[in-house]
Structure 1
Amino acid sequence: MLWRVRTTLPDRPGALAALATACGEAGVNILGLQIFPGVEAVTDELVLSTPDDWTEAEVATLVGQPISAAPCTEAALLDQPTRYVQAARAMLTSPASFPEVAARLFDAEAGAADEQDVMSLMVGEVQVQVSRGAPFTATEHARGTALADLVSDVLARDHATPTPDRRMGGGVAPEYVVSGAMVSALVNGAAVGLATVALDGEVTLRVDAAWQRRGIGTRLLVDAARLANSRGIEEIVLTTRADNQAVLPMVMAAGLRGRIRMAGSTLTVRIGVRDLKPLQV
């Protein structure tokens, strides 16, 4: 049985050798090792092959109070530099996938917020957060920041060189109409986009497929944020699938300071609206 284990060892000669000896005596094989150096202690991530009937308690006894221990597959044995290169390639190909790719790269897990460690990464003015049970190391923070800077550069370059719009309805400018807690994007009287603001700040936003990638979602998001401010709401919240790659570029294009958080299959965006100009209804 394979286990992915993280543990903190004293930063002194022989600490890792003692752990390796204990594993050998217990008939446990160390198949993978990644070291995250620290000032007073070192965090080691190990992939262990144990007898099939071993439990988490037995792994913990062997390692000595691990930070985390969970069953894993052979995918955990993939070379770590290779994983980062693959992640960078995916982000260069599709910068909007950064939240999803970062969460997968750092093994982010779902769970209650108070049980998670959170790593915050800035992409332009947007804060992307990924969370998991095991604390992120300083090395992982540095790697995440470098990747976020890469994505920021790519998105800034893409925004500076927009491509011509050849989609259906090109050249038609929607009319934006506010009604109560709802903002509609209308073309010839038909709604092609809609944003609704609930009393708790939850925003529901949709744009018809034929009218996407034309800035309508961005405009609806800005108007929804301003509408929320005019209704006394201090923060709006959008919840969507973790693989929704439209969210990051939309928030960046809107010029809003948001926080995007990944947890499992869910992506949550929080945007403070107190400093925005209220939308006149």
Structure 2
Amino acid sequence: MLWRVRTTLPDRPGALAVLAEHCGRAGVNILGLQIFPGIEAVTDELVLSTPAGWGASGTAHLVERAGGRNVVVQPCTEAALGDQPTRYVQAARTILASPMSFPEVLAVLFDAEADPVDPDGPPQDVMELTVGGVQVQVRRTAAFTATEHARGSALADLVSDVLQRTRTDSAIAVSPGRRLGGGTTPEHVVDGDSISAVVDGVVVGLATVQASLADDPAARPVVLRVDPAWQRRGIGTRLLVDVARLAHSRGAQEIVLTTRSDNQAVLPMVLAAGMRGRIRLAGDVLTVRVPVRDLRPLPAA
């Protein structure tokens, strides 16, 4: 059985040797080791191969008897033995190809979860990073080390740079009065809880404020669509700003955008609108929550 073990050892000579001796006597093989240095203590991550019949508690007791503190034991596979620098290079390549995959890649890289867990379960440590103006959180039972925070921040900076280039290259941020091809300026029409972008009498974009969430009355879901033929012209950005103001006028504190995980437009659109938010990726669903309480409410039609 393979186990991934996190433990804090005293920062003194021979501490790791004592752990290795205890493992050897118990017939436990140390197959992998990462060391995260600290000022007063050192965090070690080990991959242990235990004899048949061993469980998580027995493995934890072994490490504790060797002087380990804050021991966290989780089952793992042979994938845990992969070369760590290689994993980070592969993660960077994945993020460069698809910046929206950042939360999921980050969670896999740090053996964490991108979604909140059962509040009645064991307490979890949280790593919070900012990508542009969007907050990304991952969490796990084992505390994140300073080294891992630094690695996560470096990846977040990478994503921010990619998104900034995407934003600049696509020229998605335009002023509300920018004229489109053919000399046409879209008209934005408010009708109840919806805002339409209309060009020559044809609706080319629509944003709608939906009913409040049952578990969060201050949050209002928003549905926003732009005709594919009219995308990348700033229409979605303008609609997002207006629908956020409309939601505020309806009493919302934040809006919630939900889309596919492979939608490459939503995050640049949020950033182009000058907004900040929190992103969560769960399976194939991407959710962005954007506070609107500081926006000027949009007058009703």
Which structure 2 residues correspond to residues 217-232 of structure 1 after superposition, within 5 A? Answer: 217-232=236-251
Aligned to 2:108: 104
Aligned to 1:30: 30
Does 1:44 pair with 2:41? no
1:246 and 1:102 map into 2 onto residues whose CA distance is: 20
Aligned to 2:53: 53
Aligned to 2:87: 83
Aligned to 2:176: none
Conserved in 1, the CA contact under 8 Å of 2:125 and 2:141?
Answer: yes
Conserved in 2, the CA contact under 8 Å of 1:207 and 1:216?
Answer: no
Could you say which structure has the larger radius of gyration? 2
Conserved in 2, the CA contact under 8 Å of 1:103 and 1:262?
Answer: no
Change (3 A) 1:41 1:230: same
Change (3 A) 1:123 1:262: same
Change (3 A) 1:138 1:277: same
Conserved in 1, the CA contact under 8 Å of 2:63 and 2:71?
Answer: no
2:30 and 2:70 map into 1 onto residues whose CA distance is: 15
129-138 or 205-214, which deviates more: 205-214
Conserved in 2, the CA contact under 8 Å of 1:97 and 1:245?
Answer: no
- Extract unaligned runs of 5+ from structure 1: none
Structure 1 length-normalised TM: 0.84
- Extract unaligned runs of 5+ from structure 2: 173-179
Change (3 A) 1:163 1:208: closer
Aligned to 1:195: 208
1:250 and 1:12 map into 2 onto residues whose CA distance is: 51
Structure 1's consecutive aligned runs of 4 or more residues displaced over 6 angstroms after TM superposition are 169-173
Q: C-alpha displacement at 1:170, in angstroms? A: 7.7
- How many residues get paired? 277
Aligned to 2:137: 129
Change (3 A) 1:159 1:120: same
1:52 and 1:150 map into 2 onto residues whose CA distance is: 43
Does 1:179 pair with 2:191? yes
1:33-54 CA-partner distances (Å, limit 9, x unpaired): 1111111111111111112422
Conserved in 2, the CA contact under 8 Å of 1:131 and 1:262?
Answer: no
47-56 or 261-270, which deviates more: 261-270
Picking from 177, 192, 204, the partner of 2:222 is 204
1:5 and 1:22 map into 2 onto residues whose CA distance is: 14
Conserved in 1, the CA contact under 8 Å of 2:245 and 2:295?
Answer: yes
Question: Alignment partner of 2:296: what SS?
Answer: coil
Does 1:257 pair with 2:251? no
Aligned to 2:294: 275
Q: C-alpha displacement at 1:190, in angstroms? A: 4.9
Question: Alignment partner of 2:270: what SS?
Answer: helix
Change (3 A) 1:6 1:158: same
Does 1:144 pair with 2:152? yes
Q: C-alpha displacement at 1:243, in angstroms? A: 5.4
Q: C-alpha displacement at 1:261, in angstroms? A: 3.8
64-73 or 81-90, which deviates more: 64-73
Cα RMSD over matched residues? 2.9
| Percent identity of paired positions between Structure 1 and Structure 2 | 66
Aligned to 1:15: 15
Change (3 A) 1:14 1:203: same
Conserved in 2, the CA contact under 8 Å of 1:196 and 1:203?
Answer: yes
Change (3 A) 1:50 1:150: same
Conserved in 2, the CA contact under 8 Å of 1:100 and 1:243?
Answer: no
Structure 2 length-normalised TM: 0.79
